[in-house]
Structure 1
Amino acid sequence: MADAELLHDEGAARDWLDRAFAPTAEQWARLERFAALLVAENDRQNLIAASTIPTLWVRHIADSAQLLTLDRGGQGLWIDLGSGPGLPGLVVAILSERPMLLVESRRRRCDFLRAVVTELGLDHVEVAEAPLERVATRPAETISARAFAPLDRLIDLSARFSTESTHWLLPKGRNAVKELALLPQPWQNLFHVEQSRTDADSQILVGVGKIPAKQRGKA
């Protein structure tokens, strides 16, 4: 995605979603409804920065959907860590039938996630209301985390869910290269950097593989 089209406005974001995924009428309706629910709930709890609401489709919907383009063909369990308002997990779940586990420790966030899952009929989505440390281990085909923890801690906590074929999709903003350089070398070797479609200054760490057990927790 080195030459990725940069999405500058809401119209461009919607056009890109249409080209990239050809959503059905039902999927478009679900995306629209999720966006509306997200904005409404933001008045009750701080899910997203209020300043990003005018560019919601760029900053949150397309920003989440781009992760799915980096994991084409996947069918197994997708685990979204620190899912918060369901970004990227709920967007991915609307655009695909992938089994999705949303991990979130905050009760009010989980109440919102469950309400959205029920209203949109996303039967392939499960919400785990617990710190990641208390979530039962299961093999993940894909692990994502949009705003969960510093990279070294994120990987250390989630390594037990990884297999040799696990895909890691980790948006890290402007600090992606810097955070990657601080990891133990065996961890670094699993990842490469992709440019975000929604922010010229943001990057995504993309990796494949199982975190070597003997390296966990060591700098």
Structure 2
Amino acid sequence: MTASPRQSLNGQRVSRETAERLDHFAALFQKWAKSINLVAPSTLNDLWTRHIADSAQIYQLHPGAKRWIDLGSGGGFPGIVTAIFLAELKDGWVHLVESNNKKAAFLRVALNETGARGSVHPVRIEEARKHIPTCDAISARALADLEQLLDYCSPWMSQENRPTAFFHKGRDYQQEIDKAIGRFDFDLVKHQSVIEPDSVVLEVKNLAHRVKTAE
């Protein structure tokens, strides 16, 4: 791998080793994207900003977490990016959940060739708890609306250790929040995206199902 000129992400310095890993991942992604649909084709020309830097926000918001679950990992955003950051620490692990076999194959190659710290679980999200019993943090990007994401995360977030979840959301995020609070109680922090002015990263903690009361 050659040295990368991109040794700053979202205004934060990254090591030369991490920048090289990210560049290698980007090259792999471009190669595989020619044969399988990893992201919207219209965003491929801006891969570094639209996907890699955008994904890096998740790890940068919660760098202390060591055991991650990335739901619906798809093309590796943000899961592979998080796993690359952990490689520099030589600690931590990302469990990438992706039921599409072609995408899962790409994720395995990306982990292997970049030396990122993670493993791929080619199962449905509803079955993932059997394979990954606990975690410190959960991430998801471009997967589902907030209510559905909270359903997915509930088996882990109801545990005593109370992991934190991070979800990328676009301009209609408030509508999703309003819908989700009809079924769930949770603590919420809205982090303004440093990439897209109309987007946010939602940080969710202390998730619980609302108790229905008799009318």
Distance 1:214 1:202, change over 3 A: closer
Shifted more, 194-203 versus 133-142: the winner is 133-142
Point out 4+ residue stretches in structure 1 off by more than 6 angstroms.
Answer: none
In the other structure, the counterpart of 1:35 is 26
The answer to whether residue 51 in structure 2 is matched with residue 70 in structure 1 is no
The answer to whether residue 182 in structure 2 is matched with residue 192 in structure 1 is no
How many residue pairs end up in the alignment? 200
**SS of the residue aligned with 1:192?**
strand
Cα distance in 2 for partners of 1:22, 1:15 equals 5
Cα distance in 1 for partners of 2:75, 2:53 equals 15
| Correspondence list, 1:119-134, <5 A | 119-122=113-116, 124-134=117-127
Aligned-pair distance for 1:189?
3.6
Equivalent pair of 2:55/2:78 in contact (CA under 8 Å): yes
Aligned-pair distance for 1:186?
7.3
In the other structure, the counterpart of 1:212 is 208
The answer to whether residue 48 in structure 2 is matched with residue 45 in structure 1 is no
The equivalent position to 1:57 in structure 2, one of 48, 52, 68, is 48
TM-score normalized by structure 2? Answer: 0.85
The equivalent position to 1:118 in structure 2, one of 103, 112, 129, is 112
Cα distance in 2 for partners of 1:120, 1:21 equals 19
**SS of the residue aligned with 1:182?**
helix
Equivalent pair of 2:184/2:208 in contact (CA under 8 Å): yes
Considering fraction of residues, name the structure with more strand. Answer: 2
In the other structure, the counterpart of 1:92 is 82
Equivalent pair of 1:85/1:113 in contact (CA under 8 Å): yes
Aligned-pair distance for 1:145?
0.4
TM-score normalized by structure 1? Answer: 0.83
Gaps of 5+ in 2: none
The answer to whether residue 152 in structure 2 is matched with residue 153 in structure 1 is no
**SS of the residue aligned with 2:197?**
coil
% identical equivalent positions: 34
Give the aligned residue type for 2:150: I
Cα distance in 1 for partners of 2:164, 2:83 equals 16
Gaps of 5+ in 1: 1-10
The answer to whether residue 95 in structure 2 is matched with residue 101 in structure 1 is yes
The equivalent position to 2:139 in structure 1, one of 140, 144, 163, is 144
Superposed CA RMSD: 2.1
